[in-house]
Amino acid sequence: MVGVFWMLLAGLSFVIMTAIVKHVGSGLPAAEAAFLRFLAGLIFFLPMARSLIRVRLSPLSWRLLALRGVVHTLGVICWFYAMARIPVAEVTAMNYLNPVYVTIGAALFMGEKISVRRITAIGVALLGVLVILRPGFREVSTGHLAMLVTAMMMAASYLCAGMASREAGAGTVVAILSVSVTIGLAPFAAWVWVTPTWGQLGWLFLVAGFATAGHYFMTHAFRAAPMAVIQPVTFLQLVWATLLGWLVFGEKVDGWVVLGGALTMGSVSYITWREARLKRRPVTPPANATKP
C-alpha cells in the first residue's frame, strides 16, 4: 500500500506537469520551452554540485551518459512539440510505449533473452498504439510522429542509464542527465529563441518542480513495493489525463485512445509481472554453496 501511495503521487505529479506544458502550449518553441524547464530544474541539483565535479567514472560510463544526454535531448524536444499539438490523453497513452522499447532494446543490445510470452505482450502493446493512431481512419499528425520518436529516444536513454548505473549512483546519473540535457538543448533554444514572459518562466519552473517531485515519488515507490504491484497503478495516469483534457482543455474523450492505452498498459503490466515472477523462482545452489 505504501508503494501504491507513492506511485499515485508520482502519477499525479506527472499529469500536472503535462497539464502545465499543455497550458504554455505553442507560446514558446518546443526546444526553448524544454531548455528553460531543464535550466530551472538545475536549481534542485545545486547541493550536489561539488560531489558531481569530483565524480570519477570509467570512460565507458562517461560515453554511455554522454549518449544518454544526446538521445534524451532529442526525446524532450519531441515531447514538448507533441504536447502542444495533440490531446493530453494521447500523449499519456503513447508514453506507455517506453517500457516496450526498453524490452526490445535490452534484447538487441544487452543480450537479454526474450520469451515467446514477452514477444506476444510486445505485439499487444504495438496493437494498442495502432488503435490509438488508427492510420487510414484518421489523420496521423506530426505530433503523433513526434511521440513515437519520443518513446524510442526515452527508451534508449533508460538503457544507457541502466548500464551506467552499475558504476554510478542514481543521484549522479540523474544530475549528469540534467546538466547534459540543458547543455544539449541550449543551441536548439538559441536558434529559435523568443523572449519569454515572466508568467511563462514561472510555469516552466513549476514544470521542473513537479517533474523532480514525480521522479522522487517514483523512486520511493520502487523501494517500497515490487514493480509487479505498482506498475498497473500508472494506468491511472491515462484516466486522469483524459479527465484533465476534457475538463480543462475541452478535449473530447476518445474511447479508442482509452482502449489503445489499456492494451498497451496491460501488456507492460504483464511484462513487469512476468519479470518479477521469474526473479522469485528458487535457484538450486551449487554443491559447494552451503559449505563453510
The total of other beta-carbon atoms located within 10 Å of residue 59's CB is 7
pLDDT at position 43 is: 80
Q: Give dist(CA 285, CA 61) in Å, integer.
A: 33
Please name the helix (run of DSSP H) or strand (run of DSSP E) that holds residue 102, with its range, or none.
Answer: helix 97-109
pLDDT at position 291 is: 36
C-alpha cell at 28: 514558446
Residues with Cβ within 8 Å of 78's Cβ and at least 6 positions away in sequence, in order, are 30, 146, 147, 149, 150, 153
pLDDT at position 282 is: 45
Give average pLDDT by consecutive 10-residue segment, the chain, 292 residues.
79 82 77 87 74 74 87 90 81 76 74 72 77 70 88 85 71 79 92 89 86 75 64 66 72 73 73 62 40 38
Radius of gyration over every alpha carbon of the chain, rounded to an integer in angstroms: 20
Residue type, 234: T
Is residue 97 within 8 A of residue 75, CB to CB? The reply is no
Is residue 164 within 8 A of residue 68, CB to CB? The reply is yes
pLDDT at position 102 is: 75
Best CA proximity match to 100, nearest among 148, 133, 138, 34: 148
Residue matched to cell numbers 518562466: 201
pLDDT at position 170 is: 63
pLDDT at position 283 is: 41
Q: Give dist(CA 197, CA 120) in Å, integer.
A: 49
pLDDT at position 71 is: 92
C-alpha cell at 20: 502545465
pTM recorded for the entire structure: 0.74
Q: Give dist(CA 162, CA 109) in Å, integer.
A: 12
Is residue 21 within 8 A of residue 207, CB to CB? The reply is yes
Sorted by where each begins, the domain ranges of the chain are: 2-280
